[in-house]
Structure 1
Amino acid sequence: MRKVQQKSNQPVTEYDQPGKDHDNDQSEQELVPHQSMIRKSLGWTALTIVGFAILSGFFTTSYSDEGTPEEVVANRINTATEAGESLFEEEVNANIEARDFEVTNAGTDGGEARMLIWDFNKVDLDEVAVWVDGVPVKEKLILSENASAINIPVPSTVTIRGVKDVGGGISYAVKFPNNDTTYFNVVTTGQTNTYTVLPRP
């Protein structure tokens, strides 16, 4: 006896239609790789942006990271100031007084160190003289925004003497690149500041 297959009264859905499963699988296979590529490219873009942000933070470091110009000069010593950097547009000294400094870690014992000196205020062409261990190295140095470089022995004593004050006081900054430190100072005509330059321990 032959069995008769009964027809189902249930409606045929789109999933039951012939060929639909195959088409659906194909569209899913096409979408997944495309989405994966987008996710990867977004991930690399985000990492690149973060990397640039970190690098730009290193290269844009300046005195502003340690306070206002007045605060930086009032602190007298700074490790973020670039050589030749002008902090003020007017001739001001942030109420600092003349002072002597001890410069540590300036270089190897018996070697040489560089000292950079410039006017950190509005440039008015004040003049100083630079002596190293009692010997004149620069008898007339005009201070400007361009840092002048002087090679000095380590250890030694550097003396800065005020020669000519054009007005507002003689203000200047010295930086020793070996220890990446800037010292802010003032001096009057005929008076001196000393920097005791010491080697690394």
Structure 2
Amino acid sequence: MANYRQNKQRPKSHATNQYESRQTENDDVPLEYTESSVNRRSSSTEKKKNKHRLWIGITVLIAFGMGIYFQGSTSTIKDVQSDGIGKGMQAGVLLVSSDDLADLAARDFKIEMKENTTTSRMLIWDFAAEDGDVVTVKVDGNILQTDINIMNNPVAVDIPVPSVVEIIGVKDGGGGITYGVKFPGAVHNSAYFNAAPVGSSNAYTITVQ
């Protein structure tokens, strides 16, 4: 009976020794291996931080550049009052809230188109309030389009090149007839701002480079 008890206890003792052996093996893992794992994790974390900083820097630079661009591209009526020319201004730009604030003189302009240009468009719009101003367009003395109600959104009129385009004031909606025009394909990327009292006209002489 005593022998039976001893035999029954031996496997338990053997299992305990195996557990202790495995535990001892884990305790004997080289310190260098543990430090290497920590270093790899630390390096990975640092790379993620650096990547995050990089994207933050790029975002800041883009925002800064856009701020400079939009600040530099702000147009006012003072930019065009001296000669009626808005250098680099886009068609449809709004400069004042009402026509009587424009203080523009009626002018004629010469527009030079790029080489080999035979046709173009004239974009015309009201750069102030939409108050019902109406104009008629002539090309080389012939009526091309009558009674154009100029609005803030540009109206496109096809024109031949070369030619002389006239814009004639027909109806003053209040404060004077003022408008802007632009000719896509012109050598100088400018918009032109003008005044056309009722019955008078502005001439745009379109030439080729």
What's the TM-score, normalizing by structure 1?
0.75
> Quick one: which of 171, 190, 194 aligns to 1:181?
190
Could you report, residue by residue, the CA deviation over 1:75-121 in whole angstroms, capped at 9, with x for unpaired residues? 421134332232222233432210000112x2444610110011111
In 1, distance between residues paired with 2:73 and 2:45? 48
Equivalent residue, structure 1, for 2:106: 98
Amino acid at match of 2:150: L
Q: Deviations over 1:115-136 (max 9, x none)?
A: 0011111111111111011111
Secondary structure in 2 matching 1:92? helix
Secondary structure, aligned partner of 1:78: strand
Q: Decide which of 154, 157, 171 is 2:178's aligned counterpart.
A: 171
Contact kept, 8 Å, 1:157 with 1:195, in 2: the verdict is yes
One of 113, 116, 120 as aligned partner of 2:123:
116
Structure 2, unaligned runs of 5 or more: 1-28
Contact 2:96 2:102 in 1 (8 A): no
Q: Distance in 1 between matches of 2:146 and 2:75?
A: 33
Native 8 Å contact 1:101 1:195 kept in 2: yes
Larger-gyration structure (1/2):
2
The structure with the largest helix share of the pair is 2
Q: Is contact 2:108–2:204 with CA below 8 Å preserved after alignment?
A: yes
1:22 positional shift: 4.7
What is the root-mean-square deviation in Å for CA atoms of aligned residues? 2.7
1:197 and 2:197 matched:
no
Aligned match for 1:84, one of 63, 88, 92? 92
Q: What CA distance in whole angstroms lies between the structure 2 residues aligned with 1:93 and 1:188?
A: 15
Q: How many residues align?
A: 178
